[in-house]
C-alpha cells in the first residue's frame, strides 16, 4: 500500500486537489476526499480498503463494559440500516480474524466529566480495523468516525484504509436546548442526543426554567412544575432517563435554572419569592420580562438551598448553570424594602445586587458539590473566580474573563435560533487567530455551545433549526482551528445531514409533511420550489414582522422553511460559473435557465393553491416575487446569451423591482436575490466586456451587484 | 337555507351527481362531495357555512369530564395546526355565542366497553355547530367528524352547514398490532391510537406474545420478559400508560397472550411449561413452530392462573385474547406422557386436547373476571358458548359460529400485512349481503379487526403498512353496508391520508427518508419514480422470494415501497380514458406519454445510482423493467396516435417482454403492467376499430389484455 498524509492545516487551506499536491507519494489512487465531520486531528489515507459485508464481525480486546457493548450494538444497527446487510449479533471471540477490533483502556468516569479523555486512534487496513482509546468514551467517538468512513461503490461497501489520530480541540462542546419556551418531549431530546454523539458533541445544556415554563418535577416544591408548566414537564424519572441516555453516549447533562430573572414561572407557584407581590401568570410572549426573585430575603435562599439540594442529586454533573442573564432589575427599583436593603448593605446598583445574589447562590451550590456557571452578565468585579462564564457577548468578553482567571464557554456566534447561514457560525472561533491570550489563559476557554432558544420551534420543527448547521459548530469545537474551508464544509455537511436521519432526526422529512398540511392534499411541488429559495428573516425579526405567542401554532409556511437555503447556494454557484465563462456564457447557462423557468412557473401554480388554503395567504406576495425573479432572470439571461446590452431603463426598473422583492414578506426573504441582481447587472454591463478582461468584468459586475446597503448582521 | 338529504344508500350507489339527482331541492349550491371517512349513518347538507376563524370558541352544556376536556383540547390544537390560527384556550362561558357547543350525556364507562354508546348528532348552521351525544365517547367521535368537515376556500376556513345523525354499524372495530415479531416503541402505539380515533376505530388488540418475543413485564414471572424479549418489552407502567391513552380516546385495549402454540418465548424462560424438554431460544424466523405448552400438567395451569391473575388487573378490559392459532401439536405427538394422558382421559386428537386446554384456561379467565377470546381454531365442538371467536378464516366461519350462538369478530379479509389493495379489504363485509343469518344471529357478529402482523415492519415502516388502508376498513365497520363506491372511497382516502399525518403518523414522510438513505446523498427523484409504480409481492411471498429473519434490517427498497400504488391506479385511469376516446385517442394522451417518458428516463438514471449503492443492487432488474415498460408503452402510444396497426411480431415480442417484467424481482412487482398490456393490445387491435363500435372495441382490448392466468389471490 502506498500512503499519503495530510494534516488538517493542509486540508483546511486547500481543496482536495490541493491536498494531493502536498502528498508524500501519488502513485496510488488513495481517496482525495472524505466525509468526516468533524475532521480529525490527523488522517493518513492509504490505497487499500476494508470490505464491509455480511461477515463483518467485532471483537473487543480486554474489558467490555456495558456502555461499550451498547455502543457497539448501536453502531452495528446503523451499519445494517445503511447497507441492508444482516450482521452477526454479539462479539467475535477471535480478535485476529474480526473485521473490527476495539480496545478500551477502561470504562471511563461514572459521571461524565469535562476532564474525560476522548482521544482515540483508528487504523484501517485491507484486512482489519483497529480502534483504540484510553476510555470507552474515546471508543464511542471512534465508532462514529468509522460510521462516517463507511463508503460504497459497485464492488460493495468498504472502509478506506486510513490511520487516524484524533482528539478534541476543546473539552466542552455543547448544544443548549431551551425546553421552556416550547416544551420538547423525551423523543426529541433522545434523537438529538444521538445526533450530538454522531458529530462528537459532549454537553447537553438543558435550559429547564424560564418566564414561559418550569419544566422539571420538584418533589420538594411540587407547585413549581404543577402550576408553572401547563402540565408539560419532565418527571424526575424522565430526567434520570435523559441523564443515563446521554451518559451512554459520552454526553454530559448540565441543567440550567435561570435566576434571578427569567423567573416568572417560579413565581406563579411561589409569588412569595418575587420582588413584587404578584400574582403571576405564565408568560406567553417572547422578550425580556420584569419578574425576578427578591435577593434581599433570607427565605429565598432557604428555598433555593432546598431546591438545589434536590436538583444536585438529580443531575450528577459537576456543573450547574444558574442563568443570570437579562435581569434589568425593574422590580428591584420599585421595591422600597429592596432599596432600603441596598442602602444598608452599601450595594451601589442592581449589578452589585445581582452579584450579591450570585455569591449567596454560589455558597449554596458549593454546599451541594456543584460548580456554578452563568451567562455573561454574572461576570462582575466582585465575582469569585471559580464561577464559569458562559458568553453570549463574544470571544472578546470570553478572553477578558480568561485573562482574569475565569473559565468560560462561548455561545456568541453559535445562536442557531437566529437563522444565520452555517458559514457564519463556522468562522466563529472561541480563540480567534488574533487572540492575545497566553497558553495558560487560553486553557481557560473550555469550548462552546450552540444555543437552541425555542421561542419559535415546535417538536416538529426544532430538528430543522438545529441540524445540520450544528454539525459545523461541532467541527469548529473539535477539529484543529485551521480547518476552515467553506466549500469543503458544505460538501461534507450535505452528506452528514442525510446520515443524521439515521438516528431519527426529522429535519429533512418534516418539511414535506408541513407543506402537505398547508396544501391540503394538493401537489406540493410548487410550494417546495418556493420554500427551497426562501429563508426566515434573521435575528429577532420574525416576531417583529409576524407576531405570535408561545401558544400560537408553528405550522405556517415560515415553519416549513429552513435556514441557509441549499438551493440559493447552488444557484449562486451556477450564476458565478456562468459569469466566469464570459464572454461565451455557455457554462451552466442551461441550469440557470431551468431554475429561473421553474421559479417563473411556480408563481401562478402557487396562486391557485393559495386560493384554496387560507393558511397560505401570506405566501401570495412571495409567489408574485418568485414569478418576477424568474421572469427578470430569464430576461437578463436572454440578453446575456444574445450578447445584447439592454436599455438603461430596463436595468433601473429591474433593480427597483428586485429591491421590492428583497423586502421580507410573512417574515420570509429570498437569499437568491443577489444572484439575480448579478444577472441583471451582467446584462447591463455586457458592452464593457470590450474594455476589460473577463475577470475584471466579472469583478465589476459583482461589485455593482452588491446591494446598496446591508441591514443587520 | 335550502336543504338536501342523502342517505348512505344513495351515496354508496351513486357518485356525487347521482346524489344531487336524488335530492329534495336543488336550488342552492349545497356541497355535492364531502371528505368524511367513515361515512356517517345520515348526513343532510345545507347551503350555509360556519366560518372558522380566530374567534372560534367552544362551550360545553352540562358536565365537563376530564376526558371531554382533553378531547376538546386535542381537537383545538389540530384545528390550529391546520389553519395556523391561534384559538382561545379554555371553554367559553356562553353557549349561546360559542362557535361550537358540546353536550355530553355523561362521562361514559370507567372501563371502555363493547356496549358503549358511541352515537352522536352534529348540527352545523351558519352561526353555530351543536354536537350532542349520550356519552363523552360519542362526543369524541363527533369531534373527529367535525375535524373532517373543516374545509377552506378563498374566503377562509369553514364547516359546511349539515345535520348528521351517526352511530356505528358494529360495536367492535379494531386494529391488531403484533408487537412481538418486531417490537414497536410507545410512540408508535400512541400515534396509531390517535389515528385509530381519527377514523373511529375503538379496539387496540395488542398481540403481546409470540415465538419471537414476550413483550410485557411480568412481576410474578420476571424471567418471561427478561429472557424472552431481547430487552424490548413494555413495563407495566407503560402498559397502563397505553390503556389510559387509549381510554382517553374511547378505545379499548384487548391484550393477547397466544397459547398453547406460538409460545417459544415463554419457554425460553420456563422450559418446564413446554411439551418437550428444551432448552428453547427466541425464534428468529417467520413461520409456524412446534413449541407448545404442555396441557396435561397441573403446574402449567397453576402458572397460568398466577400469570393471568396479574394480567387481568393490568388490562381492565372485559375481554382477553388467548390466541390459540396454528398449534399443530407436533410436540404433543412425540411426548409419551401427553399421549398416555390423552388415552386415560379419552381425548381423541390434538384438537380435542387443545379444547381441553382452552376449557381449563376459560375457568382461569372466568375466575379473574375475563371473557375469553381466541382465533378460529379454538372453535371446536365442545367449546363453551361464552367464548368469542376471532375469525381469520372468513365470514362463512363467522356465520357458522354465530348460528351456534357464539359471538365473533372478523379479521379474514382485513390482513393488512398481506399488501393487498385497499379495495380488496373494503369489499369484505362481516355480514355479507348474501348472509343467511337471522337478525338475532347477526347480532353475534360484533365487528372486525385489521391485523398488522409484524414480521416485516419496523417502527419506521409500520405506519405505511397500516395507513391509509385501515381507514377504509374502519369505514366498512362503522358505516352502513351500502357504502361501497370504490372511486369515492379512494378520493376520500387520499384526503384522509394527509390529515392522518397531523397526529404524527410517518406513513408518508418516511418513504423519502428511506430512499435518501439508500441513495446516500444522491437525488432521489428517479428512485421515487420507481417506488411509486412497484408494490411488494402479496400474501406470504415476500419471505419466499427475499428471505430475511426477525433480526434483518428493514431498510431495503421493498421497505420503502407501499401497498396499493396510487400512481398505478392513476395510470390505469388515464389509459382507460385514452382508450375510451377511440378512435381519436386524444383524451389523456399527453398525460400517458409524460408518465411513460418518465419511466423510460428513470431507468438509466437509476443504473448510475445503483452502481454507487450496493444496497440497491436488487433494484437493477427493476430499473431495466421500468425503462422497458416506458419504451414499450411509448411505442404502443405512437402506433395508437398514428392509427397504424403494428406487425404481429411486435405484439408477440412486447407481450413476452411484459410477461418477463411481470415476474417479481427483489419481491417487488409492477402493478402498472396490465395498463401497459392494454396499450400494446390496443395498438395491435387498431384495425378492428372499423368492424366494431368504440365501446365494443375497448371491451375486446380489455379482455385480450387480461393476463393469461392469475396467480394467487
DSSP B503: G
* Residue pair A553/B85 in contact by the 8 Å Cβ criterion: yes
Cis, peptide link before residue A532, omega less than 30° from 0: no
Contact check, Cβ <8 Å, A86/B612? no
Query: Which of B84, B517, B549 lies at the smallest CB-CB distance from A86?
Result: B549
Query: Which residue do the cell numbers 412481576 mark?
Result: B219
- Residues of B engaging A, defined by a Cβ cutoff of 8 Å: 77, 80-86, 89, 152-157, 187, 494-495, 498, 501-502, 506, 508-510, 512-513, 516-518, 520-521, 548-549, 551-553, 555-556, 611-615
Q: Which among B449, B523, B39, B12 has a CA at the least distance from the CA of B205?
A: B449
The span from the CA of A453 to the CA of A179, in Å, is 8
Alpha-carbon gap: A553 to the closest alpha carbon of chain B (Å): 6
Alpha-carbon gap: B77 to the closest alpha carbon of chain A (Å): 8
**Which of A497-501, B158-162, B374-378, B631-635 has the weakest average pLDDT?**
B374-378
One DSSP character per residue, A304-359 reads: HHHHHHHHHHH--SSEEE----S---HHHHH-HHHHHHHHHHT--SHHHHHHHHHH
* Residue pair B537/B419 in contact by the 8 Å Cβ criterion: yes
The span from the CA of B151 to the CA of B83, in Å, is 10
Contact check, Cβ <8 Å, A83/B615? yes
* Residue pair A210/A228 in contact by the 8 Å Cβ criterion: no
Write the pLDDT tens digit of every residue in B15-39.
Answer: 333 333 333 333 345 666 899 999 9
Cis, peptide link before residue A279, omega less than 30° from 0: yes
Q: What is the pLDDT of residue B9?
A: 33
The span from the CA of A46 to the CA of A48, in Å, is 6
Which chain A residue shows the shortest CA-CA distance from B491?
A521
Looking at the domain A172-455, which fold is it?
TIM Barrel (3.20.20)
Contact check, Cβ <8 Å, B508/A513? yes
Query: Which of B86, B510, B512 lies at the smallest CB-CB distance from A551?
Result: B86
Q: pLDDT category, B63, cuts 50, 70, 90?
A: confident
The span from the CA of B59 to the CA of A310, in Å, is 42
Contact check, Cβ <8 Å, B513/A501? yes
Write the pLDDT tens digit of every residue in B396-417.
Answer: 999 999 999 999 999 999 999 9
Q: Which among A679, A355, A416 has a CA at the least distance from the CA of A538?
A: A416
CATH number of B172-206+245-469: 3.20.20.80
The span from the CA of A156 to the CA of B611, in Å, is 9
**Three-state SS for B281?**
coil
Q: Provide the β-strand partners of residue B124.
A: B129, B162
Cell of B425: 379489504
Q: Catalytic: A377?
A: no
Cell of B289: 413452530
Q: Choose from B529, B614, B620 for mutation: most chain A CBs within 10 A.
A: B614
Q: What is the pLDDT of residue B522?
A: 85
Query: Which of B84, B512, B553 lies at the smallest CB-CB distance from A84?
Result: B553
**Consecutive H or E run containing A449:** strand A445-452
Q: Which residues of chain A have pLDDT under 50?
A: 1-28, 711-713
Contact check, Cβ <8 Å, A152/B614? yes
Name the residue ranges covered by the structural domains of chain A: 3-166, 172-455, 510-705
Q: Could you say which of A80, A241, A326, A508 is catalytic?
A: A326
**Three-state SS for B261?**
coil
At the second CATH level, the architecture of B3-166 is 2-Layer Sandwich (3.30)
* CB-count burial class (<10 Å; 0-12, 13-18, 19+) for A244: exposed
Contact check, Cβ <8 Å, A614/B156? yes
Write the pLDDT tens digit of every residue in B330-372.
Answer: 999 999 999 999 999 999 999 999 999 999 999 999 999 999 9
Whether the predicted pLDDT of B295 surpasses 60: yes
Query: Which of A157, A187, A506 lies at the smallest CB-CB distance from B187?
Result: A187
Whether the predicted pLDDT of B117 surpasses 90: yes
Q: What is the pLDDT of residue A522?
A: 85
The span from the CA of B667 to the CA of B543, in Å, is 8
* Residue pair B363/B312 in contact by the 8 Å Cβ criterion: no
| A567 contact residues in B (CB cutoff 8 A) | none
Q: What is the pLDDT of residue A94?
A: 87
Which chain B residue shows the shortest CA-CA distance from A89?
B551
Cell of B698: 375497448
Distant-in-sequence, close-in-space partners of A713: CB < 8 Å, separation ≥ 6:
A418, A420, A538, A539
The span from the CA of B622 to the CA of B198, in Å, is 37
Contact check, Cβ <8 Å, A508/B521? no
| Residue B77 φ then ψ, to 5° | -65, -35
The span from the CA of A686 to the CA of A644, in Å, is 7
**Consecutive H or E run containing B6:** strand B3-6
Cell of B411: 379479521
Per-residue pLDDT, averaged over B423-446, amounts to 96
The span from the CA of B398 to the CA of B431, in Å, is 9
Contact check, Cβ <8 Å, B86/A154? no
The span from the CA of B449 to the CA of B151, in Å, is 30
* Residue pair A480/A438 in contact by the 8 Å Cβ criterion: no
Q: Which among B185, B213, B186 has a CA at the least distance from the CA of B551?
A: B213
Query: Which of A77, A509, A517 lies at the smallest CB-CB distance from B82?
Result: A517
Query: Which residue do the cell numbers 433522545 mark?
Result: A190
Q: Which among A204, A229, A198, A205 has a CA at the least distance from the CA of A216?
A: A229
Sign of CA dihedral A294, A295, A300, A305: positive
Q: What is the pLDDT of residue A383?
A: 87
* Residue pair A392/A407 in contact by the 8 Å Cβ criterion: no
Query: Which residue do the cell numbers 485476529 mark?
Result: A96
Q: What is the pLDDT of residue B21?
A: 31
Q: What is the pLDDT of residue A20?
A: 33
Tell me how crowded residue A396 is: count the other CB atoms within 10 A of its CB. 12
Distant-in-sequence, close-in-space partners of B549: CB < 8 Å, separation ≥ 6:
A86, B284, B285, B286
* Residue pair B474/B427 in contact by the 8 Å Cβ criterion: no
Q: Provide the β-strand partners of residue A216.
A: A234
Residues in chain B, how many?
A: 713
Q: Which among A485, A484, A508 has a CA at the least distance from the CA of A496?
A: A508
Query: Which of B85, B501, B516 lies at the smallest CB-CB distance from A516?
Result: B501
Q: Choose from A194, A522, A614 for mutation: most chain B CBs within 10 A.
A: A614
Contact check, Cβ <8 Å, B553/A85? yes
Q: pLDDT category, B670, cuts 50, 70, 90?
A: very high
* Residue pair B449/B416 in contact by the 8 Å Cβ criterion: no
**Three-state SS for A537?**
coil
Contact check, Cβ <8 Å, A81/B521? no
Decide: pTM greater than 0.90: yes
- CA triple A299-A303-A308, angle to 5 deg: 145
Cell of A504: 431519527
Per-residue pLDDT, averaged over B231-241, amounts to 98
Query: Which of B80, B154, B517 lies at the smallest CB-CB distance from A501?
Result: B517
Cell of A165: 489520530
Whether the predicted pLDDT of B625 surpasses 80: yes
**Three-state SS for B166?**
strand
Which chain A residue shows the shortest CA-CA distance from B495?
A521
Whether the predicted pLDDT of B1 surpasses 80: no
Strands (E), A190-337: 203-210, 213-214, 252-257, 319-321
Q: Choose from A35, A75, A84, A666 for mutation: most chain B CBs within 10 A.
A: A84
The span from the CA of A646 to the CA of A637, in Å, is 11
**Consecutive H or E run containing A130:** strand A129-133
Which chain A residue shows the shortest CA-CA distance from B611?
A154
Alpha-carbon gap: A260 to the closest alpha carbon of chain B (Å): 30
The span from the CA of B585 to the CA of B136, in Å, is 56
Per-residue pLDDT, averaged over B52-70, amounts to 96
Q: What is the pLDDT of residue A30?
A: 63
Q: What is the pLDDT of residue B16?
A: 32
| Chain centroid offset of residue A698 CA | 34
* Residue pair B281/B271 in contact by the 8 Å Cβ criterion: no
One DSSP character per residue, A385-442 reads: TTSEEEESS-HHHHHHHHHTT--EEE-TT--GGG---HHHHHT--SS-TT----HHHH
Contact check, Cβ <8 Å, B86/A520? no
- CA triple A398-A404-A410, angle to 5 deg: 15
Strands (E), B421-518: 445-452
Contact check, Cβ <8 Å, A614/B508? no
| A512 contact residues in B (CB cutoff 8 A) | 508-509, 512
* Residue pair A391/A401 in contact by the 8 Å Cβ criterion: yes
Residues in chain A, how many?
A: 713
* Residue pair A382/A351 in contact by the 8 Å Cβ criterion: no
| B552 contact residues in A (CB cutoff 8 A) | 80, 86
Contact check, Cβ <8 Å, A549/B86? yes
Q: Which among A587, A605, A601 has a CA at the least distance from the CA of A630?
A: A601
Q: Which among B517, B474, B466 has a CA at the least distance from the CA of B492?
A: B474
**Three-state SS for B709?**
coil
Which chain B residue shows the shortest CA-CA distance from A608?
B154
Q: Provide the β-strand partners of residue A253.
A: A204
Q: Provide the β-strand partners of residue A665.
A: A668
- CA triple B181-B186-B187, angle to 5 deg: 110
Q: What is the pLDDT of residue B31?
A: 64
The span from the CA of A387 to the CA of A405, in Å, is 10
Cell of B580: 375510451
Q: Which residues of B are catalytic?
A: 326
CA max distance for chain A: 83
Write the pLDDT tens digit of every residue in B66-101.
Answer: 999 999 999 999 999 999 999 999 999 888 999 999
Alpha-carbon gap: A610 to the closest alpha carbon of chain B (Å): 8
Cell of B59: 362551550
| Residue A621 φ then ψ, to 5° | -65, -30
Query: Which residue do the cell numbers 345523525 mark?
Result: B165
Query: Which residue do the cell numbers 390550529 mark?
Result: B80
Amino acid at each position: 500500500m502506498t500512503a499519503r498524509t495530510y494534516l488538517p492545516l493542509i486540508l483546511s487551506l486547500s481543496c482536495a486537489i490541493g491536498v494531493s499536491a502536498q502528498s508524500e507519494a501519488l502513485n496510488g489512487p488513495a481517496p482525495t476526499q472524505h466525509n468526516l465531520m468533524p475532521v480529525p486531528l490527523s488522517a493518513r489515507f492509504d490505497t487499500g480498503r476494508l470490505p464491509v459485508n455480511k461477515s463483518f464481525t467485532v471483537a473487543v480486546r480486554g474489558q467490555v463494559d456495558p456502555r461499550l457493548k451498547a455502543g457497539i450494538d448501536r453502531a452495528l444497527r446503523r451499519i445494517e440500516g445503511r447497507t441492508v446487510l444482516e450482521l452477526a449479533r454479539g462479539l467475535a471471540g477471535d480478535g485476529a480474524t474480526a473485521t473490527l477490533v476495539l480496545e478500551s483502556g477502561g470504562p471511563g468516569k461514572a459521571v461524565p466529566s469535562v476532564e474525560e479523555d476522548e482521544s482515540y486512534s483508528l487504523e484501517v487496513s485491507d484486512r482489519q480495523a483497529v480502534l483504540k482509546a484510553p476510555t470507552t468514551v474515546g471508543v464511542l467517538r471512534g465508532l462514529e468516525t468509522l460510521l462516517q468512513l463507511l463508503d460504497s461503490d459497485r464492488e460493495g461497501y468498504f472502509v478506506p484504509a486510513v490511520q487516524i489520530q484524533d482528539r478534541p480541540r476543546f473539552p466542552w462542546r455543547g448544544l443548549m436546548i431551551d425546553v421552556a419556551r416550547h416544551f420538547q418531549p423525551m423523543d426529541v431530546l433522545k434523537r438529538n442526543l444521538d445526533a450530538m454523539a454522531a458529530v462528537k458533541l459532549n454537553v447537553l445544556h438543558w435550559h429547564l426554567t424560564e418566564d414561559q415554563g418550569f419544566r422539571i418535577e420538584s418533589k420538594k416544591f411540587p407547585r413549581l412544575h404543577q402550576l408553572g408548566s401547563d402540565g408539560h414537564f419532565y418527571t424526575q424519572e424522565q430526567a434520570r432517563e435523559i441523564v443515563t441516555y446521554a451518559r451512554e453516549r459520552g454526553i454530559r447533562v448540565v441543567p440550567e435554572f435561570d435566576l434571578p430573572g427569567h423567573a416568572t414561572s417560579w413565581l406563579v407557584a411561589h409569588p412569595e419569592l418575587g420582588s413584587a407581590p404578584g400574582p403571576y401568570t405564565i408568560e406567553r410572549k417572547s422578550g425580556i420580562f420584569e419578574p425576578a426573585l427578591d435577593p434581599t430575603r433570607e427565605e429565598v435562599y432557604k428555598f433555593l438551598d432546598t431546591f438545589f439540594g434536590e436538583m444536585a442529586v438529580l443531575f450528577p454533573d459537576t456543573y450547574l448553570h444558574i442563568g443570570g442573564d437579562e435581569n434589568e432589575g425593574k422590580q428591584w427599583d420599585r421595591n422600597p424594602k429592596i432599596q432600603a436593603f441596598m442602602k444598608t448593605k452599601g450595594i451601589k446598583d442592581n449589578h452589585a445586587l445581582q452579584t450579591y445574589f450570585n455569591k449567596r447562590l454560589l455558597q449554596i451550590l458549593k454546599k451541594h458539590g456543584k460548580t456554578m456557571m452563568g451567562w455573561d452578565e454574572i461576570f462582575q468585579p466582585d465575582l469569585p473566580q471559580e464561577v464559569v462564564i458562559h458568553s453570549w457577548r463574544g470571544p472578546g468578553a470570553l478572553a477578558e474573563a480568561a485573562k482574569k482567571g475565569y473559565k468560560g464557554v462561548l455561545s456568541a456566534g453559535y445562536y442557531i435560533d437566529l437563522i444565520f447561514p452555517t458559514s457564519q457560525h463556522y468562522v466563529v472561533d472561541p480563540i480567534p487567530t488574533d487572540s492575545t491570550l497566553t497558553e495558560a489563559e487560553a486553557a481557560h476557554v473550555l469550548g462552546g455551545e450552540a444555543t437552541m432558544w425555542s421561542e419559535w420551534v415546535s417538536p416538529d420543527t426544532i430538528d430543522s433549526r438545529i441540524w445540520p448547521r450544528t454539525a459545523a459548530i461541532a467541527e469548529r469545537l473539535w477539529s484543529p482551528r485551521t480547518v476552515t474551508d467553506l466549500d469543503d464544509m458544505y460538501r461534507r455537511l450535505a452528506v452528514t445531514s442525510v446520515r443524521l436521519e439515521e438516528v431519527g432526526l426529522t429535519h429533512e422529512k418534516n418539511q414535506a409533511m408541513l407543506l402537505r398540511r398547508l396544501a391540503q392534499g394538493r401537489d406540493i411541488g410548487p410550494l417546495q420550489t418556493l420554500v427551497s429559495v426562501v429563508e426566515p428573516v434573521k435575528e429577532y425579526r420574525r416576531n417583529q414582522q409576524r407576531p405570535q405567542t408561545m401558544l400560537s401554532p408553528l405550522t405556517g409556511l415560515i415553519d416549513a422553511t429552513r435556514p441557509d437555503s441549499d438551493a440559493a447556494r447552488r444557484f449562486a454557484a451556477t450564476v458565478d460559473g456562468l459569469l466566469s465563462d464570459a464572454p461565451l456564457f455557455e457554462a451552466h447557462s442551461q441550469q440557470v435557465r431551468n431554475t429561473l423557468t421553474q421559479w417563473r412557473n411556480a408563481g401562478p401554480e402557487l396562486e391557485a393553491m393559495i386560493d384554496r388554503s387560507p393558511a397560505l395567504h401570506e405566501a401570495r406576495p412571495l409567489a408574485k416575487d418568485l414569478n418576477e425573479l424568474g421572469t427578470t432572470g430569464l430576461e437578463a439571461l436572454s440578453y446575456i446569451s444574445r450578447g445584447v446590452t439592454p436599455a438603461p431603463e430596463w436595468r433601473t426598473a429591474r433593480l427597483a423591482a428586485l429591491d421590492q422583492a428583497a423586502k421580507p414578506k410573512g417574515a420570509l426573504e429570498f437569499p437568491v436575490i443577489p444572484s439575480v441582481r448579478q444577472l441583471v447587472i451582467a446584462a447591463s454591463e455586457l458592452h464593457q466586456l470590450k474594455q476589460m478582461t473577463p475577470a475584471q468584468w466579472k469583478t465589476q459586475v459583482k461589485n455593482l451587484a452588491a446591494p446598496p446597503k446591508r441591514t443587520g448582521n
